[in-house]
A and B are shown apart, each in its own frame.
Chain A
């Protein structure tokens, strides 16, 4: 068992906490999110927020914020048909894949890892990512749980470490990077119940993923 400290909390308006925080503080949502994503008390207590689940200083509420965004950003959010786009079915894919969602300290910069139906999220997830970034991470990690590992090395000049493993070969490989980028792209293009600023931030992030996470550049950029 490790003990860590809450880092200095970024401005909650700019990360989306101010917007989403009041929305997650709704018992039917909390009950549903808790059960649907396999939260377990002993991984979310002891400072991580179980005892104060609406407090957006704490990891649990910040995770709920990402889950809320993932679930309600399509105009017709209840339409989660697989034939629709990822803004609609991303939430269904994520909740179907995650059996067990745990919070841990990590090394301070780590974001998340996935394996065997379980996703672990770390301090970097709660305090470095904004709300769309947390939703993207859940989509990305869920794709790993769906059985798709990365299959290539990052290209020359990649911000993720040129030559290192962890990239996807192509956009058409339909790996975790593609899922995450496509989710952000749709969120930018058609996200609802959110702000212009968060959508713009999502666009910038998706473009950097498109540029840097594929061994072969997809050949397009976000208009």
Chain B
């Protein structure tokens, strides 16, 4: 995400073509169906969403061993660049909160992060995306450790030796939340490099306690301050609002 306006001369816009022949794999095994149901439930909204999510998770847990085989297989089969899809699998494994998930979570965290593939990591960082998968996995192990799973606690201690700051941060936070975790500060310190000891003193806070942006209207450009653009229309069913911003835009009608 760069700034500075190096766009080159005005030109005709680019063109985008559909990819040919994109076969879609359908879930085959029972575990795959359960996992698919879970993905649907975890992305649902509405009054019943929470209940549906809990029900789908309960079904996954009933067959945790098989489901973990499927998660491992499916995550491994994912295009490496499909980070949201891979994350959904890691999230599912973490949400299982079942000992069967630990080998997968541990293996992911301990797998070295591949070298950066992006020419401009400030824009897209593949290392950042891989890191997000691993911090999610660390917290999955953390949930097990919080339940008293000794192997998960050992894994968290092992994660402290990983080079990633975020992995270490997630591991420290998870250990401190585990039973008797607060007593492990010295052990954590011994495993962390000296310049990372500050992780023990990070405050886990609510967003309401974080420093906010005061007077954001002053952080607009001159043109931004002058702009008088109508807010988004109210949602259907909410109080009606005058619509005055229509333009020569696209139409939702087809054909």
Contacts and interface: CB of A to CB of B under 8 A. Distances in A.
Given A91-B231, A109-B123, A211-B169, A97 B221 contact: yes
Given A4-B14, A137-B1, A156-B195, A86 B43 contact: no
Contacts of A186: 207
Interface residues of A, number: 134
A198 interface: yes
Contacts of A33: 232, 249
B194 interface: no
B219 interface: yes
B224 interface: yes
A222 B207 contact: yes
A102 B13 CA distance: 9
Contacts of A105: 14, 16
Interface string A171-184: 11010101100100
A176 B254 CA distance: 38
A189 B124 CA distance: 24
Given A72-B235, A172-B211, A32 B245 contact: yes
A197 B43 contact: yes
Contact of A114 (B1, B81, B135, B235): B1
B9 interface: no
B83 to A, nearest CB: 6
A10 B232 contact: no
Contacts of B129: 128
B216 to A, nearest CB: 5
B123 A111 contact: yes
A160 B128 contact: yes
Q: Interface size class for chain B?
A: 35 or more
A4 B82 CA distance: 18
B230 interface: yes
B56 to A, nearest CB: 11
Nearest to A90: B216
A111 B124 contact: yes
B28 interface: no
Contact of A204 (B14, B135, B206): B135
Contacts of B212: 85-86, 182
B221 A145 contact: yes
A161 B121 contact: yes
Contacts of A2: 14-15
B134 to A, nearest CB: 10
Contacts of A11: 39, 82, 84-85, 88
A72 B238 CA distance: 12
The interface residues of chain B, by DSSP majority, are classed as: loop
A1 B16 CA distance: 11
Interface in B93-145: 116-129, 131-132, 135-136
The listed residue with most B CB atoms (<10 A of its CB), out of A80, A145, A188, A208, is A208
Contacts of A156: 195
A14 B87 contact: yes
Contacts of B117: 109
B224 A207 contact: no
Nearest to A174: B213
A215 B229 CA distance: 36
A109 B79 CA distance: 14
B45 A30 contact: no
Interface in A65-103: 71-72, 77-78, 80, 82, 85-86, 89, 91-93, 95-97, 99, 102-103
Interface string B189-211: 00000010010011111111011
14 contacts: A7-B19, A26-B252, A29-B233, A31-B247, A97-B220, A103-B16, A117-B223, A145-B221, A146-B221, A158-B165, A160-B125, A161-B121, A179-B213, A195-B44
Interface of B: 1-7, 11-19, 22, 39-40, 42-45, 49-50, 53, 79, 81-85, 87-88, 91, 116-129, 131-132, 135-136, 163-166, 169-170, 173, 195, 198, 201-208, 210-213, 215-217, 219-221, 223-225, 227, 229-236, 238, 243, 245-254
Per CB-CB distance, the 6 closest pairs between chain A and chain B, nearest first, are A115-B5, A34-B249, A47-B16, A144-B3, A53-B250, A166-B122
Given A1-B15, A14-B88, 18 more contacts: A4-B17, A11-B82, A32-B233, A32-B243, A46-B15, A51-B250, A53-B252, A78-B234, A96-B224, A109-B126, A114-B5, A115-B5, A141-B1, A150-B122, A159-B166, A185-B207, A220-B205, A223-B205
